Amino acid sequence: MKKILHADCDCFYAAVEMRDNPALADRPIAVGGRADHRGVIATCNYPARAFGVRSAMPSAQALKLCPELEIIRPDFERYRAVSADIQALFFELTPKVEPLSLDEAYLDVSDVTRFQGSATWMARWLKEQALSRTGITLSVGAAPNKFLAKIASDWDKPDGLRVITPDEADAFIDQLTVNKLHGVGPATAAKLERLGIRTCPELRDVSLARLLENFGKFGQRLYELSRGIDHREVNITRERKSVSVETTFDQDLPDLPACQQAVTALVVKLDERLARHEHPPLNKLFVKVRFNDFSITTLETSGVTPGLEIYQHLLDEAWHRRARPVRLLGVGVRLTPPDDLKQLGLF
């Protein structure tokens, strides 16, 4: 039986700022761009969240919700240094680590013999060591697969620890609404609700044939996840063809200015992911736009360095192909294949 941990730093950027300046701990703070420069919130602490401030929210809107909010400009070099210390801690426990971003990772601890093989004790050790060595709080979920481990890590935040044993999996899933399932965004959740499906028990009552009819290949995934089935391995080595981030919005973005504002947060997140991959060789940059009629357009360019200005230019051109409200935005880079980087021999 697999034992998977999902470790996630609580409000990571804000946590680093509060660690380095304890006076901020009880004040509402956010890390992000300036409101007068159409900035967005990258993350915020829990006092700020109590006012309704959320990541990817325009900074101007965040200040309306919380006038006392202190917005701090991000220091990604500092955040990457802290992340490296936390990632090193993961590798002390097991070589089977799949980093997802600067602040979260999956760990396969199935073969770890330390702590008498107890995933619960391993999770506690990770939390204790992360706090003592870096001053950062981890929330950790332990479960038989990645799907359940990720949900578990978010269950009792902040500073959470939730363990789901194989015997407890069914009862745990029975508590879930369908929007907790991996890959179910607002559009899919709304479609499920129109079919009268809001909870995982309700989803389990639907036949595989009907799910395939309504959701195509994703119907198979819905069928499996509602039963706690997830065969994905913790992926420690893979050849990446691209690095990207995308967001499906709860409410459609009405026009181009709203899209340009939203893309800022995506570019920040993309830069973070590229840093984790130690700036891989880039081939092309691209933007992806899904409009409210579910049509999709992708626009790419080559030979440039990733930056907000070029992504805003690509977005401008891509949006004008349909010029209608947008439900999803994505930005990314396509990577140069490893074989293309090898210099051919002379003979």
- Residue 274 sits at φ, ψ, to 5 deg, of -65, -35
- Residue 92 sits at φ, ψ, to 5 deg, of -65, -30
Q: How confident is the model at residue 61 (pLDDT cuts 50, 70, 90)?
A: very high
Q: What percent of the chain has pLDDT over 70?
A: 93
Question: What value does the mean pLDDT take over residues 84-99?
Answer: 94
- pLDDT tens by residue, 155-167: 999 999 999 999 9
Question: What value does the mean pLDDT take over residues 51-72?
Answer: 93
Residue ranges, CATH 1.10.150.20, the chain: 174-225
State the average pLDDT for the chain: 89
Q: Is the pLDDT reported for residue 269 higher than 60?
A: yes
Question: What value does the mean pLDDT take over residues 52-65?
Answer: 91
Q: Which residues contact 240 (CB under 8 A, 6 or more apart)?
A: 277, 280, 335
Highest mean pLDDT among 12-21, 54-63, 238-247: 12-21
Residue ranges, CATH 3.30.1490.100, the chain: 242-336
Angle (deg, nearest 10), helices 256-276 and 76-93 = 50
What's the rounded Cα separation, in Å, for the pair 41 and 130? 25
Catalytic residue among 17, 92, 98, 104: 104
Q: Which of 83, 69, 61 is nearest to 13 (CA)?
A: 83
The pLDDT value given to residue 278? 59
Quote the distance between the C-alpha of residue 197 and its chain's center.
25
Q: How confident is the model at residue 240 (pLDDT cuts 50, 70, 90)?
A: low
What's the rounded Cα separation, in Å, for the pair 235 and 97? 7
| Cross-strand partners of 70 | 29
DSSP state of 216: T
Q: Is the pLDDT reported for residue 313 higher than 70?
A: yes
Strands 70-72 and 161-163: unpaired
Has 278 been annotated as catalytic?
no
- One of 3.40.1390.10, 3.30.70.270, 3.30.465.10, 3.90.1660.10 is the CATH number of 1-168, namely 3.30.70.270
Q: Take residue 60 and report the two structure tokens written for it.
A: 């101007």
Q: Is the pLDDT reported for residue 347 higher than 50?
A: no
Please report where in the chains the tokens 């130690």 appear, as a residue: 278
- Are 9 and 84 spatial neighbours (Cβ–Cβ below 8 Å)? no
- pLDDT tens by residue, 217-232: 999 999 999 999 999 9
Does the annotation list 85 as a binding residue?
Answer: no
Q: Take residue 55 and report the two structure tokens written for it.
A: 């990541």
> What is the value of pTM for the model shown?
0.71
CA angle 116–97–158, rounded 5-degree value? 80
CATH code for 242-336?
3.30.1490.100
Question: What value does the mean pLDDT take over residues 276-293?
Answer: 79
What's the rounded Cα separation, in Å, for the pair 12 and 8? 9
Q: How confident is the model at residue 345 (pLDDT cuts 50, 70, 90)?
A: very low
What's the rounded Cα separation, in Å, for the pair 179 and 80? 31
Spell 283-301 as b/e; 16+ CB within 10 A means b.
bebbbbbbbbeeeeeebee
The pLDDT value given to residue 342? 42
Q: How confident is the model at residue 239 (pLDDT cuts 50, 70, 90)?
A: low
Does the annotation list 103 as a binding residue?
Answer: yes
The pLDDT value given to residue 282? 74
Please report where in the chains the tokens 């801690």 appear, as a residue: 89
- Residue 81 sits at φ, ψ, to 5 deg, of -65, -45
Domain 174-225: state its class: mainly alpha
Q: Is the pLDDT reported for residue 286 higher than 90?
A: yes
The pLDDT value given to residue 185? 84
Q: How confident is the model at residue 26 (pLDDT cuts 50, 70, 90)?
A: very high
Highest mean pLDDT among 24-38, 237-251, 333-347: 24-38
Residue ranges, CATH 3.30.70.270, the chain: 1-168
